[in-house]
Amino acid sequence: MIADLSLCLVTDPALCGDRGVAETVRQAVDGGVRIVQLRDKHASDEEIVAQLLDLSRVIDGRALLVVNDRLDAALIARERGARVDGVHLGQGDASVRRARELLGADALIGLTANSGAHLDAVRALPPGTVDYLGVGVIRPTSTKPDHPPALGIDGFRSFVAASPLPCVAIGGIGIDDTGALRDAGAAGLAVVSALCAAEDPRAEAAAFIRRWRRSGIPRVLSIAGSDPSGGAGIQADLKSIAANGGCGMAALTALTAQNTQGVSGVHVPPVDFLRAQLDALADDIVIDSVKIGMLADAEVVTTVVAWLDRVRPPIVVVDPVMIATSGDRLLDPAAEAALHALLTRAHLLTPNLAELAVLTGRDVDGWDDALLAAEELSSRTGAAVLVKGGHLPGDQAPDALIDAAAGVRQEFTGDRIVTENTHGTGCSLSSAIATRLAHGDDAISAVAASRSWLRESLRASGMLRIGRGHGPINHFAGLWERGGVTTRTSAAEIAAEWWDAIAATRAEIDALPFIRGLAGGTLSRAPFLFYLQQDALYLREYARVLAEASRSAPTSAEQAFWADSANGAIVGELELHAAWLDPTRGVTDATFAAQPGPVTTAYLDHLRSVAFGGGYAELIAAILPCFWLYTDLGERLQAGEFGAYARDPEHPYATWLATYADPAFSAATAQAVDYVTQAAAAADEATRARMRRAFEASSALERDFFHAPWGLHDAG
Ligand SMILES: Nc1ncnc2c1ncn2[C@@H]1O[C@H](COP(=O)(O)OP(=O)(O)O)[C@@H](O)[C@H]1O
Ligand SMILES: Cc1ncc(COP(=O)(O)O)c(N)n1
Ligand SMILES: [Mg+2]
């Protein structure tokens, strides 16, 4: 089986400090580390054996455990019941050939290499002796005092180009090296200090994983049935994965004879052949995310569960397909018992209302029942549950993400789109989410963006004219119009285009002394309070602009959304005063003129001129940066990109920073992005150009708004 080498923690007892190696490993594995390499040059073999037994228990199969150099200790630990998956050997350590002989064909064997001579030696080995090369040091590091000259990223890139084996970068790697190293061809990163010495190894590992995913193309496997009409099953999965930026693969569990009017037959091939398909993939391809659809019968379910336990993919999304939109059964009722074992291995379940009722044994007669049942299913399985409201009566089609363990409860509203082409909506949505999670999105953002794509695909499904029943959605709506590929850009592409268009502005915001001081806790109170006071003045007028957006919105859902946002702005402004600008707490407005400063005035004048001079579409484009930049900055602050201290409860501005991470605001931002980019996709060229200009102007004013208080710093 090929190992996922993306993130390897190399232990260093000195750097783990009082927390100790085992606790550091536990937290880092919780955060997503895929391989743990126990490395301790000073411990005795007996001590290494004891640590391997301990780490094997701590890791509990969630990551691979290898030991640096100590082959004999690995063998002894195995004999005593530890799960030791392999060794990493240096050039001078035991021979890799002996390691392969003693550990077996399935062991993971790594070899340190950093020169042409080392590569020649590797080429001379029998194929399959070594699985990967540890290549470094990338930067000078204290954790390997005798290291050779640093390769740097360019040196690493050249080495990878000449290497016959996957290369894992090691030596002085920080989180900001992640994208460049993956672009340089790294199969993964081996990290020592950045994780062992981290305040919060779990968060740091999660931040590394997020960056790693962001810089690659997700490799997404669908394990599902075939629907020859192309609207559902693996056919829909592969289209959805591609449309959401992933590279799709598919292992077939069953074949259906099916069209848009129903299922006329199901054939389940011998389950050994499913196992053969899955093993073939696991032996060759690192899989970032798995989406599971139709499973047909109990044997298929247990085969998939066994494979998941062996491969341990980092993301598993289960769409518990039981009954097709046509009403035909796609899962043998006898398999429902076996299904529970699968559900506990999932990170996300995406049942529709009927499936939720079967999985919980409860009546689900409306949305409130559905939310309760989803909460129960999440508690019972440990998985997050996205309960889908597509089959509800009425003019709304809501969904809700509920994760009992993480305390997440996020509803997504939306008008029902009038169309018969709803075949495969569940398959398509779950595949899109699996892809976006593998690209580093958090659950709420992945669901919001996938819903936005799905809704656009539903809206554009009419042009396909497939069959006389429930037709498929138009997975590539953004690329297709009648008769072939056109230049019409999709909402998702417009979002990417606009986000890139303000890349320089975003980089300027990140570099602002105000932001750096805020994150690092060094910002003095004067500029901070000035910023808050200006923010309070801004929010009062911003709420009026949002109310104008609500008044001019074309649909009831948008009308409600902008009205809710206006309310949120006012509540935010009132809370600002109560929490920070309360004269009774010694903060007097006398410190600053209680008037809008020049930047605040310019920003509000810009918004008001668009609100009362442009149309609805231009107005919401001008509003969007206040959502999008704020949420993006907050997510990155919380992910530790400005240093772990930004998450420290002792931080002087901790309560203010916490407002940046509100999941409800993150979902509102995703919704706002959806509305604005949908409007831009539907607009004519001239309107879209005006929208983009308004968006870019507001983005620049957001930057200036953060910079304005800086002049007060010296007075602080
Ligand atoms: N007519 C519709 N308009 C808007 N969204 C819809 C419509 N039908 C289904 N959806 C959405 O499609 C997704 C799949 O929902 P659903 O059809 O309930 O699942 P399934 O396809 O598994 O039966 C959900 O996000 C749901 O909100
Ligand atoms: C092979 C296969 N897998 C899944 C579905 C469910 O899709 P939907 O519920 O949208 O009909 C299907 N109809 N066929
Ligand atoms: Mg479904």
The pLDDT value given to residue 43: 95
pLDDT for residue 589: 46
Please name the amino acid found at residue 241: I
pLDDT of residue 591: 52
Q: How many CA atoms lie within 13 A of 188 on its CB side?
A: 27
Q: Are 345 and 292 in contact (CB under 8 A)?
A: no
Name the β-bridge partners of 403: 408
302 included as an active-site residue: no
- 321 Cβ closer than 6 Å to some ligand 2 atom: yes
> How many of the other CB atoms lie within 10 Å of CB of 463?
12
- Verify whether residue 425 is a known catalytic residue: yes
What is the rounded average pLDDT of the residues 665-681? 90
- Quote the crossing angle between the two packed helices 503-511 and 513-520, to the nearest 10°: 50
Helix (H) or strand (E) holding 199: none
Q: Exposed e or buried b for every residue in 354-364, given b needs 16+ CB within 10 A?
A: ebbbbbbeeeb
The ligand whose atoms approach the alpha carbon of 326 most closely is 2
Residue 40, annotated as binding a ligand: yes
Task: State the catalytic residue, choosing from 11, 225, 291, 388.
Answer: 388
Which residue matches tokens 């509000």?
604
421 CA distance to ligand 1 middle (Å):
10
More confident residue, 147 or 228: 228
Q: How far apart are CA 324 and CA 426, in angstroms?
A: 10
Distance from Cα 427 to the centre of ligand 3, integer Å: 6
671 touches 561 (CB < 8 A): yes
Instruction: Answer yes or no: is pLDDT of 94 > 80.
Output: no
Report the alpha-carbon distance of residue 422 to residue 351 in Å, rounded.
15
Determine whether the shortest distance from the Cβ of 229 to ligand 2 is under 6 A: no
Q: Is the pLDDT of residue 325 over 80?
A: no
Task: Kindly give the number of the ligand 2 atom that is closest to the alpha carbon of 326.
Answer: 11
Architecture of domain 7-215: Alpha-Beta Barrel (3.20)
- Weakest mean pLDDT among 274-283, 365-374, 384-393, 411-420: 411-420
CA torsion sign for 598, 602, 603, 607 is: positive
Tokens standing for 189?
Answer: 């990163």
Give pLDDT, residue 584. 60
User: For position 621, what pLDDT does the model report?
Assistant: 97
Check whether 267 has a pLDDT greater than 60: yes
| CATH 1.20.910.10 intervals, the chain | 491-710
How is 606-621 classified by DSSP, letter by letter?
HHHHHHHHS-HHHHHH
Q: Where is mean pLDDT largest: 142-146, 234-238, 491-495?
A: 234-238
CATH 3.20.20.70 in the chain, residue ranges: 7-215
424 is catalytic: yes
Alpha-carbon distance of 358 to 383, in angstroms, equals: 17
Q: What's the pLDDT score for residue 716?
A: 38
- Give the per-residue pLDDT at 233: 97
CB-based burial label for 416 (10 Å; 0-12, 13-18, 19+) = middle
3-class SS of residue 331: strand
Q: What kind and span of H or E run contains 289?
A: strand 289-292
CATH 3.40.1160.10 applies to domain 491-710: no
Q: Is the CB of 319 under 6 A from ligand 2?
A: no
Question: How many Å apart are CA 698 and CA 381, to the nearest integer?
Answer: 44
pLDDT of residue 590: 46
The yes-or-no verdict on residue 486 having pLDDT over 60 is: no
Catalytic residue among 427, 505, 640, 677: 427
Q: What would the mean pLDDT of 159-175 be, rounded to a whole number?
A: 94
Cα distance between the two ends of the chain: 59
The pLDDT of residue 483 is: 46
Three-state DSSP class for residue 280: helix
**Does the structure show a pLDDT above 50 at 522?**
yes
Residue 482 has pLDDT above 80, yes or no: no
| Closest ligand, as measured to the CA of 233 | 2
Per DSSP, the residues of 570-610 read HHHHHHHHHHT--GGGT--GGGS-SS--HHHHHHHHHHHHH
Q: Which residue is closest in CA terms to ligand 2's atom 9?
A: 324
Report yes or no: 318 and 343 within 8 Å, Cβ to Cβ.
yes
Residue of 325, 425, 505, 677 marked catalytic: 425
pLDDT band (50, 70, 90) for residue 582: low
Question: Over the chain, what is the mean pLDDT?
Answer: 90
In the chain, count H helices and then E strands. Answer: 28, 19
Model confidence pTM above 0.80: no
> What residue's CA is closest to ligand 2, atom 2?
233
State whether CATH 3.30.930.10 applies to domain 219-483: no
Cβ–ligand 2 distance for 325 under 6 Å, the answer: yes
240 in ligand 2 pocket by Cβ < 6 Å?
no
Q: Please give the DSSP secondary-structure letter assigned to residue 321.
A: -
Q: Which of 385, 388, 308 is nearest to 342 (CA)?
A: 308
Q: pLDDT for 73-85, tens place per residue? A: 999 999 999 999 9
Q: Which residue out of 252, 323, 329, 427 has the highest number of ligand 2 atoms within 8 Å of its CB and is therefore the one to mutate?
A: 427
pLDDT at 470 over 50: yes
At residue 262, the 3 state secondary structure works out as: strand
| Residue 659 annotated among the catalytic residues of the structure | no
Q: How far apart are CA 576 and CA 315, in angstroms?
A: 39
Instruction: Judge if the beta carbon of residue 426 lies within 6 A of ligand 2.
Output: yes
Q: Name the amino acid, one letter, at 486.
A: T
Q: Which of 110, 134, 246, 426 is catalytic?
A: 426
In the set 350, 422, 435, 505, the catalytic residue is 422
User: In this predicted structure, what is the pLDDT of residue 640?
Assistant: 78
CA 256 – ligand 3 centroid, Å: 15
Cα dihedral 677, 615, 660, 191 in deg (nearest 10): 30
262-267 and 247-259 beta bridge pairing? antiparallel
Closest ligand 1 atom to Cα of 390: 18
172 assigned binding-site residue: yes
Burial 204-218 (b: 16+ CB within 10 A, else e): bbbbbbbbbbebbeb
Pairing assessment for the beta strands 35-38 and 167-170 based on DSSP bridges: unpaired
Q: Is the CB of 293 under 6 A from ligand 2?
A: yes
Going from the Cα of 397 to the center of ligand 1, the distance in angstroms, rounded, reads 7
Ligand 1, atom 8: closest residue by C-alpha: 390
> Are β-strands 219-226 and 132-136 bridged in parallel, bridged antiparallel, or unpaired?
unpaired
Q: Which residue has the higher pLDDT, 685 or 361?
A: 361
Tell me, in angstroms, the distance from the centre of ligand 3 to residue 647's CA. Answer: 39
Whether 424 is in the pocket of ligand 2, judged by its Cβ within 6 Å, is yes
232 lines ligand 2 (CB under 6 A): yes
3-state helix/strand/coil string of 467-503: CCCCCECCCCCCCEECCEECCCCCHHHHHHHHHHHCH
| Residues 6 or more apart whose Cβ sits within 8 Å of residue 258 | 227, 228, 229, 232, 233, 264, 324, 328
- Best residue among 240, 292, 321, 461 to mutate for probing ligand 2's pocket (most ligand atoms within 8 Å of CB) is 321
DSSP one-letter string for 662-705: -HHHHHHHHHHHHHHHHHHHHS-HHHHHHHHHHHHHHHHHHHHH
Take atom 15 of ligand 1 and give the residue whose Cα is closest. 390
Radius of gyration of the chain (CA): 27
Higher pLDDT, 237 or 331: 237
Separation of 422 CA from ligand 2 center, angstroms?
Answer: 10
The pLDDT of residue 713: 59
Centre of ligand 2 to C-alpha 550, Å, is: 38
Rounded Cα distance between 222 and 428, Å, is 11
Give residue 203's pLDDT.
92
Based on the residue annotation, tell me whether 427 is a catalytic residue of this protein.
yes
Q: How far is CA 536 from the centre of its chain?
A: 33
Question: Does the structure show a pLDDT above 50 at 127?
Answer: yes
Can you tell me the distance from the alpha carbon of 671 to that of 655, in angstroms, rounded to the nearest whole number? 25
Centre of ligand 1 to C-alpha 536, Å, is 40
Q: Are 82 and 56 in contact (CB under 8 A)?
A: yes
400, exposed or middle or buried, with CB in 10 Å at 0-12, 13-18, 19+?
buried
Measured from the Cα of 451, ligand 1's closest atom is 25
Spatial CA neighbour of 686 closest among 593, 623, 617 = 617
Known binding residue 239? Answer is no
Residues in a beta bridge with 67: 38, 87
pLDDT for 291 equals: 98
Tokens of 36: 């743990």
* Mean pLDDT of the region 449-463: 88
d(CA 455, CA 670): 14
- Residue 63: burial class (beta carbons within 10 Å; 0-12, 13-18, 19+): buried
Task: Give the sheet arrangement for strand 262-267, strand by strand.
Answer: 262-267, 247-259, 219-226, 289-292, 316-318, 348-349, 384-388, 399-403, 408-412
93 is in an annotated binding site: yes
CA separation for the pair 73, 322 (Å, rounded): 49
| 608-642 per-residue burial string, b: 16 or more CB within 10 A, e: under 16 | bebbeebebbbbbbbbbbbbbbbbbbbbbbbbbbb
Is 239 considered catalytic here?
Answer: no
CA of 612 to the centre of ligand 3 (A): 44
- Residue nearest ligand 2's atom 6 by CA: 324
328 alpha carbon – ligand 2 mean position (Å): 9
Ligand nearest to the CA of 226: 2
For ligand 1, residues with CB inside 6 Å are 325, 352, 388-391, 397, 399, 414, 416-417, 419, 422, 425-426, 429, 451, 454-455, 458
Peptide bond between residue 137 and the one before it cis (omega within 30 degrees of 0):
yes
Q: What is the pLDDT of residues 586-597, one digit of tens each?
A: 555 445 557 888
Looking from the CA of residue 319, the nearest atom of ligand 1 is: 22
pLDDT of residue 429: 97
